[in-house]
Chains A and B, each alone.
Chain A
Amino acid sequence: MNHTRRNFLKFAGLTAAGLCVASAGGVMAAGAGATYKEGAQALKAKRWGMVIDSKKVGTKEAIDVLAKACHDVHNVPNIPGKQNIMWIWAAGFEQAFDQPNNFMDEGLEKRQFPILCNHCTNAPCVRVCPTQATYKRPDGIVAMDYHRCIGCRYCMAGCPFGARSFNFMEPRLHLDVTKLNKDFPTRMRGVVEKCNFCVERLAQGKQPACVEVSNGAVVYGDLSDPNSEIRKILREHYTIRRKPSLGTEPSVYYII
């Protein structure tokens, strides 16, 4: 009696294990002969980067224009209070840069800087994400898959730039749902989000939304190409990055 029960349990266990293994091996679901490829008009780079001329966008009002363009195109809600969501916003010199100076020149002291995800080369958020919901694309963009994010917020603790926001509540409650950009999704409650360097616009051959409305104050381009416009600007101007001592290697440069 005991033996048969034991054997039955063994058999049942093996069967269950077998079923698990069998169902785990999924097949790719493309129609026979179908393939994927990159779009012809897509903008490509080895290492996307950004230079912001803080002399040209140095006020809250000027930065709000960039923020509005970005937040409108990405359906970013405007949530009052400390559980807000921001992809790009304005901050003062001491908040943005880890270089306190007791006797700063007046111009710099009053200037505001656009703050956004730095798309770091050694991004701590990519390193800590337990599901690869945040990942690094070959072109240097730190992207997110909101479908996979479990909302553990480890990336928010990991990011030394405060660039990430969490959807504490249903974001659509704070969006004018009649004025959404219908070509881009919203997010759902319980996932983290941040600036995506407009990867969806690059795929269509467009410049990032903030660049488009910046009147040349924000320049976007390939950092790996010595002949690119962005490299030319970096050659000609003194620029700084946020918290370089942490070794994350930000891709966003500021002309001071």
Chain B
Amino acid sequence: MLEKALKGSPKYYMWVGFLLLVILGTSGFYIMQLMEGLTITGMSRDVSWGFYIAQFTYLVGLAASGVMIVLPYYFHHYKKFKDLVIFGEFMAIAAVVMCLGFIVVDIGQPQRMLNVVLFPTPNSILFWDMLVLNGYLILNVLVGWTCLEADRQGLPHPKWSHTLAYVSIIWAFSIHTVTAFLYQGLPGRHYWLTAILAARFLASAFCSGPAILLLVIMLTEKVTTFKANVEGLATLAKIITYAMCVNVFFFLLEVFTAFYSGIPGHTHSIVYLFKGVHGHHELVPFMWTAVVLGLGSLCLLIPPKLRDNMKLLPWSLAILVIATWIDKGLGLLIGGFNPTPFETIAPYWPTGKELMISLMIYATGALVVTILFKIATEVKQEIGASQKPAVE
């Protein structure tokens, strides 16, 4: 089926060429990082993880989110998701590829990366994260590819692919839980040391991930003959709405525990993020933007009239994505490292080079999504599934 990615319209070639150019151009910055070290980033002794790991965390959520389509389809036989399933799985592949990319660019000695496999260490959560992420990648490649191939040939999906699909649903929960465990088991990092972190991660993943997926599917509809089931899209929007409500609720639980108990360790990070301490207010405007956009997205998503308005929906989803990204892609990491173990504030901001290297990975992800979605939509066109009505 891969040959379908090779033939396309001039627009398709231009887009792929553009992405390749971006990857090529930004990879120069990665080479610079390889030669000079991570000193080209804004990270420091106190904020020792930064933008890369934050993006990794956010994208694990995107990878896990496909399950919001796959689960209703396989567990509840919700047929309206039939034609969306493959996009959920392919999006997960691209997301895991980006996750692995962000890990690779973040480590100081990437050529020794395989030490994680050569010296397996079950007491390290990072070891388990490596296992579940790669496992999830393999599961989605196997299930997605096999089912699409079977569809193309007009054959029923093989039995084993169903079994693997069930496994991948449970697995999706595991990848984000394990990623949360990376953080929530560390003594002395109070913003992370909370039992609800894994639940928060899942809630935020299950709203932001499907939101991104839905946006990409809407874009796909614009540029291909594919037409998703409208009712299916509406259901997905409903799922996103519920997940966002839960996400906001879980965060408010944190706020209550911190401020009603008044324990400084619990309040400090939140105060730094939303009010600023010791004269440092770096993140305050961002966090309040997240609050306004997050609540704004709920106002636009909860009333069925507004949610079902397909013209408005992309905007509601976009502001939801921005809100959750600030929360998880900025606040989570910087708030976790601040205040430092010495009760000081160590401001962090990614450098331009750091952002360029991140762009390299995002462009790679976009390329993977483009190619996989191209294949999927071409196959659907070939078999005439979920197509736009022919125009005279």
Taking a contact as CB atoms under 8 Å apart, the answer to whether B39 and A169 are in contact is: yes
Asked whether any CB of chain A lies closer than 8 Å to the CB of B49, the reply is: yes
Taking a contact as CB atoms under 8 Å apart, the answer to whether B186 and A128 are in contact is: yes
Asked whether any CB of chain B lies closer than 8 Å to the CB of A148, the reply is: yes
Asked whether any CB of chain A lies closer than 8 Å to the CB of B293, the reply is: no
A85 nearest CB neighbor, chain B only: B45
Kindly identify, within residues 72 to 98 of chain A, every residue whose CB is under 8 Å from any CB belonging to chain B.
82-86, 91, 94-96
Give the secondary structure class of B's interface: loop
Q: Would you mind naming 11 contact pairs between A and B with Cβ atoms under 8 Å apart?
A: A128-B185, A130-B127, A130-B130, A133-B115, A150-B110, A162-B45, A162-B342, A166-B48, A167-B37, A169-B37, A190-B109
Asked whether any CB of chain B lies closer than 8 Å to the CB of A243, the reply is: yes
Task: Kindly list chain A residues whose C-beta atoms are within 8 Å of the C-beta of B154.
Answer: none
Task: Kindly list chain B residues whose C-beta atoms are within 8 Å of the C-beta of A246.
Answer: 187-188
CB < 8 Å neighbour of A152 from B106, B185, B189: B106
- Of B57-65, B118-126, B139-147, B156-164, the one touching chain A: B118-126
Asked whether any CB of chain B lies closer than 8 Å to the CB of A7, the reply is: no
Taking a contact as CB atoms under 8 Å apart, the answer to whether B37 and A148 are in contact is: no
Taking a contact as CB atoms under 8 Å apart, the answer to whether B113 and A168 are in contact is: no
Interface footprint category on A: 35 or more
Task: Kindly list chain A residues whose C-beta atoms are within 8 Å of the C-beta of B106.
Answer: 152-153
Give the secondary structure class of A's interface: loop
B189 nearest CB neighbor, chain A only: A157
Task: Kindly list chain B residues whose C-beta atoms are within 8 Å of the C-beta of A156.
Answer: 45, 48-49
Asked whether any CB of chain B lies closer than 8 Å to the CB of A191, the reply is: yes
Taking a contact as CB atoms under 8 Å apart, the answer to whether B113 and A150 are in contact is: yes
Taking a contact as CB atoms under 8 Å apart, the answer to whether A148 and B112 are in contact is: yes
CB < 8 Å neighbour of B109 from A94, A151, A248: A151
Task: Kindly list chain A residues whose C-beta atoms are within 8 Å of the C-beta of B257.
Answer: none
Given contacts A128-B185, A160-B187, 14 further A-B contacts (CB under 8 A): A82-B46, A95-B344, A130-B116, A130-B124, A149-B108, A150-B108, A150-B115, A151-B109, A153-B49, A160-B188, A166-B38, A168-B41, A190-B107, A191-B108
Kindly identify, within residues 33 to 82 of chain B, every residue whose CB is under 8 Å from any CB belonging to chain A.
36-39, 41, 43-46, 48-49
Asked whether any CB of chain B lies closer than 8 Å to the CB of A196, the reply is: no
**Cβ of A150 to closest chain B Cβ, rounded Å:** 5
Taking a contact as CB atoms under 8 Å apart, the answer to whether B37 and A152 are in contact is: no
Taking a contact as CB atoms under 8 Å apart, the answer to whether B108 and A166 are in contact is: yes
**Cβ of B191 to closest chain A Cβ, rounded Å:** 12
A128 nearest CB neighbor, chain B only: B124
